[in-house]
A = this chain, B = another copy of it.
Amino acid sequence: MSEPNQEIEFETHPDHYRHWRLEIEGATARLVWDVREDAPLRPGYVLKLNTYDLGVDIELADAVQRLRFEHPEVRAVAITSGKEKVFSAGANIHMLGSSSHSFKVNFCKFTNETRLAIEDACRNSGQRYLAACKGVTAGGGYELALACDEILLVDDGNSAVSLPEVPLLGVLPGTGGLTRIVDKRLVRRDLADVFCTLAEGVRGDRARRWRLVDHVAPRSRFQDLVDERLQALSQDLPRREGPGVNLLPLKAEIGSDRYAYRCLTVDLDRRERVATITLKGPEGPPPANAAALRAQGSDAYLFRIFRELDDAICRLRFNEEEIGLLLLKSAGDPEQVVAHDEALLSLAGEDWFAREILLSMARTLRRLDTTARSIFALVEPDSCFAGSLLEAALAADRTYALDDPERPLRMILSSVNLGACPMGHDLARLQVRLLHDVAAWDRLSGQVKAGEHPAFDAAGAVETGLVTIAADDIDYEDEVRVAIEERASLSPDALTGMEASLRFPGPENMETKVFGRLSAWQNWIFQRPNAVGEKGALKLYGRPERPSFDWRRT
């Protein structure tokens, strides 16, 4: 169970990619994966056959993000392999076999989020993806293809798509695979059952008939097919006028117990297992128009603070496994947050950059929703939990407010709270708080749509459901301290399961099924001796011994 000893960094840049090449050709792009065998994220395994580890996926996530912002002219992206005989053999098994349970689980979560980011681009950013599969397209390799709009497969009697996890490894195709084949691609469930137990996968026209791929072509015609489909996919998409906006490095100061970003700080208390995230309100008014927003680029306040939050969440997930509780605080002028929100939203209708900022904020908030740490928000007199920053508080498991009549706090709604940054199941976080009181949701949305910004003091916030518990200045500190200590005493596993259940009331969709159903089963299996015991299938993969199973079904 060797763990990475050094901090994992989530920022990268195409100039530093080791595993991917991003090739822009006018309105289309090629994202070529050509994994360097000798460049794993940590020593101990070799990345053969375009297998991937977290390092490979961090680069992919970066490329997808940069395509949206830095290359607005690109309307269709082909994911192709730089290796002759393999698209990808999936997640690296030796990496998985030598990783701790919590690393495995967080690795799967991150890769799922990357694939959802691709689907978000296809759906909302006018950038369509196709997977050009040649040779072995197995496991996580095929799961990446499943995240694309279209899957093309060489028909050469050899190239096959497969999900061999169940027969070969005794685990699930857990990067969305099981959910996407039946829920997204609508593969008939009995055919999916056959497919998921066929280690060698399915080839050629049969793969097309089973809906596992969209188009097949012989090797000689394949390049033409890819070009044709890229052209076809890029048709009828809205034009996004250039130039792009460069994503500049965040340049955070990562200290031993503090991450200092420009717009937020994270203070780590490892003894208490608590990280305090303090969001700073904007320092000035919002940009007056699209040109001004463009001039600010990746330093625009809302874009920057949510990029920083995204980076901080990823660091906490992987580098601080024992931090069990995130305390969300904020400091600044809530009216200014609302002003930035409304400026961004008013531009988002016309300006792709503003729209992309909003989509990016939404992805970060969804990453927060699925982060397996308890989250408490603390609302105090100098807080600025309004609009988009209030979304973070609404993602919390509970919220405490200091009710000091001398210094009344203010929580304010903006248009962002009406669903501009929806949860994975497409509901607004405020709507989820108000599932029991649809009339209140309708009333508040009506006010915001009419240009009002309902504001709440502590009592009003409790009454409306934005705050769980308010206490006066005599009790507040004790109340919060006791709550933190209690939380820190509970079983981390039970909290993970509880939070995964309580955070998502309401309908489910493919995204929430991936995190709530597929991942939960995978986590269970990742813990079972049949997979990870000394004679488990995952443990013995690649060795001559056969796995030995406990046959009791559950």
Q: Which A residues contact B (CB, under 8 angstroms)?
A: 100-102, 105-106, 165-167, 169-172, 178-179, 181-183, 186-194, 196-197, 211, 273, 321-324, 372-373, 396-399, 432-433, 435-436, 465, 468-469, 486-487, 490-503, 505-508, 513, 516-518, 520-525, 527-528, 530-531, 537, 547, 549-554
Apart from A102-B553, A491-B549, A513-B516, what are 8 other A-B pairs with CB-CB below 8 Å? A166-B498, A169-B494, A170-B494, A182-B505, A183-B506, A189-B433, A492-B549, A520-B520
CB distance from A283 to the nearest CB of B (A): 31
Closest to A108 in B: B554
Closest to A273 in B: B551
Closest to A505 in B: B182
Q: Are B525 and A500 in contact (CB under 8 A)?
A: no
Q: Are B102 and A186 in contact (CB under 8 A)?
A: no
| Copies held by the complex | 2
Q: Are B166 and A491 in contact (CB under 8 A)?
A: yes
CB distance from A400 to the nearest CB of B (A): 10
Q: Are B505 and A517 in contact (CB under 8 A)?
A: no
Interfacial chain B residues near A172, Cβ < 8 Å: 494, 497-498, 501
Closest to A514 in B: B501
Q: Are B324 and A553 in contact (CB under 8 A)?
A: yes
CB distance from A330 to the nearest CB of B (A): 17
Most buried by B among A172, A324, A396: A172
| Contact A398/B194 with A491-B547, A537-B491, A551-B492 known, Cβ cut-off 8 Å | yes
| Contact A436/B166 with A194-B398, A492-B553, A524-B524 known, Cβ cut-off 8 Å | no
Q: Are B494 and A178 in contact (CB under 8 A)?
A: no
Most buried by B among A101, A490, A503: A490
Q: Which residue of B188, B399, B487, B494 is within 8 Å of A165 (Cβ)?
A: B494
| Contact A554/B190 with A491-B530, A495-B166, A502-B196 known, Cβ cut-off 8 Å | no
Complex Cα distance, B374 from A196, in Å, reads 13
CB distance from A464 to the nearest CB of B (A): 11
Q: Are A530 and B493 in contact (CB under 8 A)?
A: yes
Closest to A503 in B: B189
Interfacial chain B residues near A506, Cβ < 8 Å: 183
Q: Are B491 and A178 in contact (CB under 8 A)?
A: no
CB distance from A88 to the nearest CB of B (A): 21
Q: Are B491 and A553 in contact (CB under 8 A)?
A: no
Q: Are B373 and A553 in contact (CB under 8 A)?
A: yes
| Contact A197/B486 with A399-B190, A505-B182, A520-B520 known, Cβ cut-off 8 Å | yes
Q: Are B433 and A490 in contact (CB under 8 A)?
A: no
CB distance from A459 to the nearest CB of B (A): 15
